Chain A
Amino acid sequence: MARGHPNDARLNEPADHFATLAQQEQASHLGMWLFLTSEVLLFGALFGLYTGYRLEYAADFAQAVQHNNIAIGTINTALLVTSSFSAAWAVHSARLGSRRGVVTSLAVTLLLGLGFLVLKLVEYLEHFQAGIYPGALYHSTELPSHGANLFFTLYFFLTGLHALHVVAGLSALAVLAVLGWLGRHTPERHTSLELGVLYWHLVDVIWIFVWPLMYLQK
């Protein structure tokens, strides 16, 4: 029987260097949280840059924020927090032993995540039509200030990096959905699902802070 098959008894045994399965799971969670910390520091540096430039170019930033589509930003926030709920529900379903629940919840999460990316693309295209690009490519006649250029360079870098994380999260969740379909997430063992969903929640938490900074300022 292949390793990883739901009926494989070895699936419920810890690796050699762990005394118990609980200890192994705890180590996995700690490792994942340390990885998430590195991600938080990555985005934290960008939030730090935002803080500095915002204080230095307060008027330009206030003007530039108005150009972002607040409706798209808000709908995307609702999509991501709902996707966090459906992802959490996938873990809940795994604990209850509901294979259908796992797959359906992850499918809903994937659809919401794809919806987020489509709306982001629509917003990017709106900006491109107005000459709003990152860095030296910026040639907006409506917002010609250096501060606006800095704001949108940060906007593209922050939201672009976040979008890459959405793509990575969706890829991981797609693989986990297939594994769920194959019945690999059992009530006793579903650590991979928990870790993948933890990553997705981090993507949500980062957006929760991007939304007010990039859309709700005056």
Chain B
Amino acid sequence: MTDRTPLPPEPSVTRAPRAGVSAAHAESGRAYVFAWLALLALTLLSFGAHFLELGALATAVSLAFAGLKATVVVLVFMHVRQESVSVRTVAGMNVAWVVLLSVGIALDVAAH
């Protein structure tokens, strides 16, 4: 006969406090202002870089500025830093798919 030990009691479902649900997502007002100023500064720098003779690097430089700006928006304005692991995974996959698609097409066109 197997020794049957009683199962522990089911944990009771607890209700979250009614207030402060979104507090976990809080970002300070100062962070938003800094992010905005950074976005404007990066836009100006990208605009200025357009007039430099960068040759083949021009596209990479303009896309690097775009990547930096998108990172600021996603991390600060879209609160990805405060989101759950599942949301951060989905956000990361967005970048992976677009890079994979563009690089794959570029390699294919270059090979033909």
Give chain B's interface residue range (CB within 8 Å of chain A). Answer: 35 or more
- Chain B interface (Cβ < 8 Å from any Cβ of A): 13-16, 18-27, 29, 32-33, 35-36, 39-40, 43, 46-47, 50, 58-59, 62-63, 65-66, 69-70, 73-74, 76-78, 83-84, 86-87, 90-91, 93-94, 97-98, 101-102, 104-106, 108-110
Could you tell me if B87 and A81 are in contact, using CB atoms closer than 8 angstroms? no
Could you tell me if B36 and A212 are in contact, using CB atoms closer than 8 angstroms? no
Could you tell me if B16 and A21 are in contact, using CB atoms closer than 8 angstroms? yes
Give complex CA distance A30, B49 in Å.
37
Could you tell me if A20 and B16 are in contact, using CB atoms closer than 8 angstroms? yes
Q: How many pairs, one residue from A and one from B, have CB atoms within 8 Å of each other in the complex?
A: 157
For the complex formed, measure the closest distance between the CB of A94 and the CB atoms of chain B, giving whole angstroms: 8
Nearest 4 Cβ contacts at the A-B interface: A212-B62, A20-B16, A85-B36, A81-B39
Chain B neighbourhood of A44, CB < 8 A: 97-98, 101-102
Task: Select A48's contact among B36, B50, B78, B102, beta carbons within 8 Å.
Answer: B102
Chain B neighbourhood of A89, CB < 8 A: 29, 32
A26 within 8 A of B: yes
Could you tell me if A188 and B21 are in contact, using CB atoms closer than 8 angstroms? yes
Chain A neighbourhood of B27, CB < 8 A: 88, 92
A78 within 8 A of B: yes
Give complex CA distance A22, B24 in Å.
10
Segment at the interface with B among A35-43, A151-159, A168-176: A35-43
Q: Can you report 7 A-B residue pairs in the complex whose CB atoms are below 8 A from each other?
A: A19-B15, A22-B21, A34-B90, A41-B97, A48-B102, A81-B69, A209-B66
A126 within 8 A of B: no
Could you tell me if A208 and B69 are in contact, using CB atoms closer than 8 angstroms? yes
A201 within 8 A of B: yes
Could you tell me if B77 and A88 are in contact, using CB atoms closer than 8 angstroms? yes
Give complex CA distance A22, B19 in Å.
10
Given the known interface contacts A37-B94, A40-B94, A74-B43, the answer about A25 and B22 at a Cβ–Cβ threshold of 8 Å is yes
For the complex formed, measure the closest distance between the CB of A127 and the CB atoms of chain B, giving whole angstroms: 20
Q: In chain A, what residue has the closest Cβ to B58?
A: A218
Give complex CA distance A105, B62 in Å.
30
Segment at the interface with B among A51-59, A117-125, A133-141, A142-150: A51-59
Q: In chain B, what residue has the closest Cβ to A202?
A: B78
**Mask of A79-102 contacts with B, CB within 8 angstroms, 1/0:** 001101101110010010000000
Q: In chain A, what residue has the closest Cβ to B36?
A: A85
